[in-house]
A = this chain, B = another copy of it.
Amino acid sequence: MSHAFFDRHQELLNQAVAAIATRGYWSPYAEMPSPRVYGETANNDGKAAFDARLNKPFALNQAGTIGQAGKEVSPYGFDLGITYPKPDLDQLFGAIQNASTGWRKAGPEAWVGVSLEILDRLNKRSFEIAYSVMHTTGQAFMMAFQAGGPHAQDRALEAVAYAWAEMRRIPKTALWEKPQGKNEPLRMEKHYTVVPRGVGLVIGCCTFPTWNGYPGLFASLATGNAVVVKPHPGAILPLAITVEIAREVLTEAGFDPNVVTLVANDPSERMASTLALRPEVRLIDFTGSSSNGTWLERNAHQAIVFTEKAGVNQIIVDSTDDFKGMVRNIAFSLTLYSGQMCTAPQNIYIPKDGIDTPDGHLSFDQVASAIGDSIAKLTSDPAKAVEVLGAIQNTGVLDRIDAARAIGEVVQDSQTLVHPQFPQARIRTPLLLKVGSVDEEKIMQEFFGPISFAIATDSTAHSIALAQKGATEHGALTLSVYSNKPAVLDQVADASEQAGVALSINLTGGVFVNQSAAFSDFHATGANPAANASLSDSAFVANRFRVVQRRAHV
């Protein structure tokens, strides 16, 4: 059965392996929530499925269940009322141990085949997952569908493709024949068995539970590991549905479903650190705060730890041939999901003497005000604005908006909007502040949320130096530059290579610095403090399995 799944999806796998090599545009999962692709009733069915989950226990026939946990609240203003199985960890890990033996022995084709079948079914459930992402993260529906559904599935498939590409490089057998001069050669037959490391732990985040959680989940699963999914207490449902589907596929394929399990917890309960130190856990994929990520890197010695943490994303504004395009693009990047993206820009460096544009030389204040005005325009109609802004995931973000005001002078203040359908939703427009001189201690920290700073620098050279230093010392997932001078672009490219941060150049159209496309864009480099890994590359998968050989004379 597991090999049947491999056969069923092998063509897709081959395409995915080709895509990671060429890195052009490719995606097998339709990003538009179109009835033609997903079915005429898909939206209604997904919404109904989501509604049916509310206010009851989430049924997950999982080992060692001793209670219930879960207190999710939709950022749109209502309790989900769902509880999830709360396991006794010793019982759970005992069951995982039992499940692991058969899974280990099944081998790469089974691991990959099951992974691809799970993805196929996840794709078909994209609407249900979209509503569950929307009402845990606060994303607007379209983003919840795209980033939480097909784009997350793309990132998962990408990880599976990397895993397969590495595992298939290991031959199953080899004949080793060493010449011995005039004597008969020495002949040995060698067998190479790919074995998993152990148990993978996925520690989810509250803003992109599937997009950030799937790569680690599928990279570990596709390399033969059992996986424990520990969602953020604020965004359990999307990963619980994922685990449910994974267990369904595992069962159909003849495996013990405890290969993939869920450990949900209440916000008041510490769980990630307890799980992370279990000796069975040999791989950890974490998305979250720098302090928690660094703690894992320094304490979970028994495991290989992949982290995506905080950073300070930056924009260098030097000059532009399309001032309006630039301003609109930056404003949209700041507004999208209220800046609650790990890729959203925060620090915008503008020379204090202003910049050259097709509209003539514009002062620092003019540039900052233009971005502020563009944000205002983009958010002027609440009904449209909420479809870009989404809702604020948690009250910590609101606190940061207030705290950030002390850093500079308000260019565009954060407004509270009322959502037409969800009057209780936490909706806030972006806050843009102006900072007259560079105080690194203040600006070189992440203000996660709809908070950004237009910072007056001495010159573009100063901006570049700041951006390089900021990314090197504080981490960054994205860097953006606007310039029509090739020499400046070269300097920024070199700075980005030294700081290990991906660079977007002169984005004025329909691509935004926040966006990172699977199979083409490496998400994070793993080369600065914002992340110790990249989604996805060989290094993300190659150490999740090991090879055990045996040899004997022929």
Stretch of A80-88, A173-181, A266-274 at the chain-chain interface:
A173-181
Task: Pick from B497, B520, B548: contact of A174, CB below 8 A.
Answer: B520
Residue of B nearest to A195 (CB): B497
Q: What 1/0 mask marks residues of chain A from 298 to 323 whose CB sits below 8 Å from any chain B CB? A: 10010000000000000000000000
B539 lies within 8 A of A543 (CB): yes
Shortest CB-to-CB span from A546 to chain B, Å, is 4
Top 5 A-B pairs, shortest CB-CB distance: A505-B552, A527-B546, A539-B543, A539-B542, A538-B542
Interface residues of A in 530-554 (CB under 8 A from B): 534, 537-539, 542-543, 546-553
Q: Which residues of B sit under 8 angstroms from A534, Cβ to Cβ?
A: 546-547
A13 to B405, CA, bound (A): 58
- Decide yes or no: A24 and B174 within 8 Å by CB, A539-B542, A548-B502 being known contacts: yes
Stretch of A138-146, A185-193, A284-292 at the chain-chain interface:
A185-193
A546 to B497, CA, bound (A): 10
Please name 20 further chain A to chain B contacts, defined as beta carbons within 8 Å, in addition to the given A502-B549, A521-B549, A525-B547, sorted by A numbering.
A20-B169, A166-B538, A178-B517, A180-B510, A186-B509, A186-B511, A190-B520, A195-B498, A497-B548, A501-B548, A503-B548, A503-B549, A505-B550, A505-B551, A506-B553, A507-B553, A522-B549, A525-B546, A538-B542, A542-B542
Shortest CB-to-CB span from A162 to chain B, Å, is 10
Decide yes or no whether A21 CB sits under 8 A from chain B: yes
Residue of B nearest to A533 (CB): B543
Number of copies: 2
Q: Which residues of B sit under 8 angstroms from A21, Cβ to Cβ?
A: 169, 171
Q: Which residues of B sit under 8 angstroms from A197, Cβ to Cβ?
A: 527
Decide yes or no whether A25 CB sits under 8 A from chain B: yes
A360 to B521, CA, bound (A): 67
A527 to B225, CA, bound (A): 13
5 intermolecular pairs with C-beta atoms under 8 Å apart: A25-B178, A176-B520, A178-B517, A497-B548, A543-B543
Shortest CB-to-CB span from A506 to chain B, Å, is 6
Interface size on A, residues (CB 8 A): 65
- Decide yes or no: A23 and B174 within 8 Å by CB, A525-B547, A525-B548, A546-B525 being known contacts: yes
- Decide yes or no: A550 and B510 within 8 Å by CB, A23-B174, A197-B527 being known contacts: no
Decide yes or no whether A297 CB sits under 8 A from chain B: yes
Residue of B nearest to A508 (CB): B553
Shortest CB-to-CB span from A242 to chain B, Å, is 26
- Decide yes or no: A547 and B537 within 8 Å by CB, A195-B497, A195-B500, A195-B527 being known contacts: yes
Decide yes or no whether A496 CB sits under 8 A from chain B: yes
Interface residues of A in 1-46 (CB under 8 A from B): 20-25
B553 lies within 8 A of A511 (CB): yes
Q: Which residues of B sit under 8 angstroms from A62, Cβ to Cβ?
A: none
Q: Which residues of B sit under 8 angstroms from A195, Cβ to Cβ?
A: 497-498, 500, 527
A288 to B7, CA, bound (A): 46
Decide yes or no whether A504 CB sits under 8 A from chain B: yes
Decide yes or no whether A236 CB sits under 8 A from chain B: no
Decide yes or no whether A526 CB sits under 8 A from chain B: yes
Decide yes or no whether A493 CB sits under 8 A from chain B: yes
Residue of B nearest to A167 (CB): B538
Shortest CB-to-CB span from A538 to chain B, Å, is 4
